[in-house]
C-alpha cells in the first residue's frame, strides 16, 4: 500500500514539475521576439524604503500583445516611478516594451500605453490605468510615485534613506483625436465637452464632484456618457 501511495505521489510531483517547466518554456518562447531587457529583483542597485510598485507580482494577470497573443497567469508588476510593466519568468524580471503591449490586466486593473498632452504643444506617452471604456469618453488614471534621495547626517539632523513615496494620481479623459487630456478641475473638464457643458456643470455642482477622487470622476464620466 505504501509503495502504491509513493508511486502516485512521485507521478504527481513529476507531472507538476514538468508542467512548471513547460509553462516557463512557453512564456520564454512567446516573448522571445520582443527583445526583453533583464532587470534585478528589486529593479535597482541601491537600498531604499517604500516601493515604486503599485501591486505585488503574485496577482492574477492577463496581457494582450501586439501580435494578438493573449497570455494569462503571467506574473507582472507595474513600476509607477519608471513607468514600466515588468514580467517575471523563472525568478528573472524582464521589461515589457510598450510598443509590444496592448494592455495588461493586473488583478482587474487595466493598464494601457497612451499619448497625452503635456501643455499646449508638448505630446508625451505613458502608461495609464483605464477606469472605464466608452467611445464617447473614457477616464484614465496616471499613478505618481516620487523618488527622494538619501540625506547625509547633519549637525542637527539624522541621516535619511532614499525612499519612494506615492503621490496623488492625475486624471485624463480621451478626446476625439485619441489624445488624452488632463482634467484637474471643473474648468478643464467642461472645456473638453463643449456639446453638453450646461448639463454637466449642473451635475458637478449638485453632486459636489471632487476632481481628485477617482470614484467621483468616474461617476461624472458615466453621467456624461449617458447624455
Domain ranges of the chain: 1-30, 36-182
Compute and round to an integer the Cα radius of gyration of the chain. Answer: 23
Q: Which residues contact 213 (CB under 8 A, 6 or more apart)?
A: none
Q: Can you read off the three cell numbers belonging to residue 216?
A: 467621483
CA distance 109 to 61: 9
Percent of the chain with pLDDT over 70: 81
Contacts of 32 (CB under 8 A, 6+ apart): none
pLDDT per position as a tens digit, 29-51: 656 656 677 776 666 777 889 99
Task: State in Å, rounded, how far the first CA of the chain is from the last one.
Answer: 71
What percent of the chain lies above the pLDDT cut of 90?
50
Q: Which residue has the cell 514538468?
A: 18
Q: Going by C-beta distance under 8 Å and a sequence separation of 6 or more, which residues neighbour residue 51?
A: 164
For 62-66, 165-169, 171-175, 211-215, which range has the lowest pLDDT when averaged over its residues?
Answer: 62-66
Provide the pLDDT for residue 146. Answer: 95
Amino acid at each position: 500500500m505504501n509503495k502504491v501511495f509513493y508511486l502516485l505521489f512521485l507521478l504527481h510531483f513529476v507531472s507538476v514539475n514538468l508542467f512548471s517547466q513547460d509553462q516557463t518554456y512557453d512564456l520564454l518562447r512567446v516573448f522571445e521576439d520582443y527583445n526583453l531587457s533583464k532587470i534585478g529583483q528589486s529593479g535597482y542597485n541601491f537600498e531604499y524604503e517604500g516601493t515604486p510598485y503599485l501591486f505585488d507580482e503574485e496577482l492574477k494577470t492577463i496581457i494582450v500583445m501586439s501580435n494578438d497573443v493573449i497570455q494569462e497567469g503571467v506574473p507582472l508588476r507595474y513600476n509607477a516611478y519608471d513607468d514600466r510593466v515588468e514580467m517575471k519568468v523563472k525568478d528573472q524580471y524582464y521589461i515589457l516594451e510598450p510598443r509590444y503591449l496592448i494592455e495588461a490586466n493586473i488583478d482587474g486593473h487595466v493598464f494601457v500605453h497612451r499619448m497625452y498632452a503635456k501643455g499646449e504643444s508638448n505630446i508625451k506617452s505613458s502608461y495609464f490605468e483605464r477606469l472605464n471604456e466608452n467611445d464617447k469618453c473614457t477616464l484614465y488614471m496616471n499613478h505618481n510615485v516620487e523618488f527622494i534621495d538619501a540625506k547625509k547626517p547633519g549637525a542637527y539632523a539624522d541621516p535619511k534613506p532614499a525612499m519612494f513615496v506615492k503621490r496623488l494620481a492625475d486624471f485624463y479623459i480621451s478626446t476625439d483625436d485619441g489624445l488624452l487630456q488632463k482634467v484637474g478641475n471643473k474648468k478643464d473638464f467642461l472645456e473638453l465637452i463643449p456639446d453638453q457643458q450646461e448639463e454637466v456643470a449642473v451635475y458637478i455642482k449638485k453632486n459636489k464632484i471632487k476632481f481628485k477622487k477617482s470614484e467621483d470622476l468616474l461617476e461624472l464620466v458615466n453621467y456624461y456618457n449617458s447624455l
